[in-house]
Amino acid sequence: MKKGEFIFLRKKRAQMKLSFGMIFSIILIIIFIAVAIYAILKFLGIQDSVKIAQFEDDLQSDIDKMWKGSQGSQEVEYSLPAKIKSVCFKDDEYENLVFRADKFIEGIKINHIDIEKTLAGEDSFCIDNVNRKLKMRIKKEYGEALVTIENE
């Protein structure tokens, strides 16, 4: 083996080590980006859950305020995630408010609602979520014990 031939072989081996390091770095970058995207999507899912919980709390608070008064009517607007298509009231002992969405979302129990008057003889009363906003009227007439919900 000649001297020049040996130097040529050493250069090839060094080039292979450099390219393996580059490939390994690219794989690590791809993994990092995938984990970052996954974390962002999970965070957005948590944000939707927080908006739904905030809606539940705000609605119950507004109903309680109206219920404690002798009479009144108030138009309210709530912000909900786009995945919620509508909010429906129904006559059920355990959950009288359910969310209609692409996948199942558990319903909740709202207190101090006159559900029979709100439903007006129907099986359910739904209010559509338009542009991530849900608008309704909370109303209580003089002498009534419970609050009714109407579509705005």
φ and ψ at residue 132, rounded to 5 degrees:
65, 20
Q: Residues 6 or more apart from 61 whose CB is under 8 A from it?
A: none
Poorest-pLDDT segment among 15-19, 67-71, 76-80, 106-110: 15-19
Q: pTM of the entire structure?
A: 0.74
Closest CA to 139 of 71, 56, 92: 71
Q: For position 88, what pLDDT does the model report?
A: 92
Domain ranges (residues) in the chain? 43-151
Report DSSP state, residue 151.
E
Cα separation, 140 vs 113, whole angstroms: 10
Q: Which two tokens stand for residue 30?
A: 């791809």
Q: For position 9, what pLDDT does the model report?
A: 52
Cα separation, 135 vs 22, whole angstroms: 56
What pLDDT, in 10s, does the model give residues 11-64?
Answer: 555 555 567 788 889 999 999 999 999 999 998 889 888 999 999 999 999 999
